[in-house]
Structure 1
Amino acid sequence: MTQNDRRGLGEDRLALAIASGKSVRDAAKEANISESTAYRRLSEATFRVRVDELRRKMTTDTIRLLSATGNEAVNCLRDAMQSADSTIRIRGGAELLKYFWRLYEHNAKCNAGSITIDQAIALVDSVLQAITDEIEDESQVKRIGKRLEVLIADLTSI
């Protein structure tokens, strides 16, 4: 292996380690180069661009994996809402609402594909109705109602 090959391999390892979030010191150790060499590489614009490209690729890969399992997670929460245990049903519904709201906020910020406030409130109402239809303890229904009132107030303040 030539000197240039070793340097290239060290730079590849350094770029990957830094893009992965490691400190310069730890990345340098992993790349088997000195810390001062690592800082020298970081001072080079082309190296920083390479690190940024690796970070973007890692982020894209992570989003792809999360998207692939997102439907599975939603189905799991929907299954929890069918549980005989009312506490599990409530938690399943609450988690679905929480993640729905985060997605709604994200879409609203992006202005792409977001739903209307009326659609959001209708969804919250339908989930609340599905949960309360199965709950016999009136105090649980009231607690859920109060939490949803806060959520709806947040929805309408956008």
Structure 2
Amino acid sequence: MNILSSWKNWLVITPLVILLSFSTVGIGRTSVYAEFDSAGNYVCNPFKGELETNIFISVVNQINEKLEFYKRSYPNSTEQEQHDFIMKYQNTWQLYNKSKACIEALGINSDKTASLNEDVKQAIAVPEFNMLGIVALSIAVCLSVVISRIRLK
């Protein structure tokens, strides 16, 4: 009888533990979900400015946190590596751009609402060609000097 009673307890307690674990998963952080049309594209809702503002803040925080996590994981990463990492999240960037345009169309100042941190701004501003661009510019300047001197003679 003792075994049967412990078996019943297990059958009652296990589902409760599972349900509680699922219900407490997201307590520490509240996610915000955007509205999407039937094709899966983000839709700006002009009647819910507060929702759109929360969506924008959430996306900005996601971008900031992604780069912060990357920099903690790879403290010796170069600016180009950080740029490559953060730019590979194209869906997040598309949502960021659309959400920013949405709240600005609603008359909300996106810069005062939420802004990308300085590390993200620096990472997205890194030129794609780094040294190659500098070398190409140097060669172009040298060639223009040589050509202008040849013409003067």
Q: Please give the range of the TM-score, normalised by the shorter of the 2 chains.
A: 0.3 to 0.5
State the TM-score, normalizing by the size of structure 2: 0.36
Bigger relative contact order, structure 1 or 2, given CA contacts below 8 A and separation 6+?
2
Report the TM-score when normalising by structure 1: 0.35
